[in-house]
Amino acid sequence: MAKKHYTIPVFIPELACPFQCVFCNQRKITGRQFIPDDSEIILTIDEHLLSFKEKERNVEIGFFGGSFTGIPIEQQAHYLKLVRPYFKKREITGIRLSTRPDYINPRVLDLLKQWDVGTIELGAQSFDEDVLKQSFRGHTARQTEKAAKAILDYGFDLGLQMMIGLPGDTLEKTINTAKRIVELGASDTRIYPTVVIKDTALYQWYKNGEYQPLSLEEAVDWVKKILPVFEEAGIKIIRVGLHPSEGLLSGEELIAGPFHPSFRELVLTEIWRDLLTTIPETKKQDHIEIRVPPGQINYAIGYNGKNRKRLLEKFNSVKYVGDDKLRGREFEVGL
């Protein structure tokens, strides 16, 4: 059995980012208003370690919340040195961090290698130049490609994050971005639908009628089409949808857009819906039993039982059964 994997998130918002991406108010998105001091970081790590029940596990620390390599290099070294004792005690097995493509250079990569960073995630967002320009990203797709190659050449694992529904984006551009992430050799990815957060440029554009976010249904449909691109390439999909921070859940900061606390489940529900529509209709009184891999039962049933309810329009009763012999999204039907 594979070891349980955990990532302990340490959020460090970047205070002096010179870029004004149209979607970004990083402190509101992460739910963080202040940079944590050393004692708070240690407390966060210790509390997470105490909460893990599995003895056989892989634990990494993730520095998130902004562009880690955009803070002064001395401060980067300080944070990485701060968590070094956990390596020595073998309580953690790795470090990952997120940053911008244009914040990657040999000096940074040398430092990160020295302090045992394993994975560097780049906020690629899109590989379409027009989308990047309209979103005021401040970097080009070519810069992302060069940074990705440098990261891999140094021996790090590469993560590439993408956003859908940015200004100028289309389904075709989103699919092309997903394919480019595969081609560049990413080990993992995160997929974020663009939402309108208070006090951002998108917020003003939305109020002025200059930007319209994807609907929840559109966002689910787009992600449904790109998820198989990553799955077929063996790329781990770490997250689908924004993390439900307190501000987003309460609606105080979220103004508009396809946010849902169970966004990934909505997408997987629709993938299973498409699969289950291949079941031939029989007489209304028939009973149907659907055998699926155990880990897929909830998605096959669907969010709020959506897929089960659809099948009950065709069949008198529907039963789902976990089958360890099935893999991926294989399923078998018995009547």
- According to the model, what pLDDT value does residue 242 have? 85
At 161 the three-state DSSP class reads: strand
**Domain range annotation of the chain:** 4-261, 269-334
Q: Which residues pair with 159 in a beta bridge?
A: 121, 188
Gap between the terminal Cα atoms of the chain:
33
**Strand duo 196-197 + 254-256: pairing:** antiparallel
In sequence order, what are the residues at sequence separation of 6 or more whose Cβ sits closer than 8 angstroms to the Cβ of residue 250?
A: none
- According to the model, what pLDDT value does residue 251 have? 67
CATH architecture of the domain formed by 4-261: Alpha-Beta Barrel (3.20)
For 111-167, the pLDDT digits (tens) are 999 998 999 999 999 999 999 999 989 899 999 999 999 999 999 999 999 999 999
The reported pTM is 0.90
Across 130-139, 162-171, 240-249, 258-267, least confident range:
240-249
8 A C-beta contact, residue 6 and residue 49: no
For 21-49, the pLDDT digits (tens) are 767 765 444 444 567 899 999 999 999 99
For 270-316, the pLDDT digits (tens) are 999 999 998 887 655 688 999 999 999 999 999 999 999 999 988 88
Residue type, 242: L
Residue 16 pLDDT > 60 = no
Long-range contact set of residues 230-234: C-beta below 8 Å, sequence gap at least 24? 230/178, 230/181, 230/182, 230/189, 233/182
d(CA 71, CA 79): 11
In sequence order, what are the residues at sequence separation of 6 or more whose Cβ sits closer than 8 angstroms to the Cβ of residue 182?
A: 229, 230, 233, 235
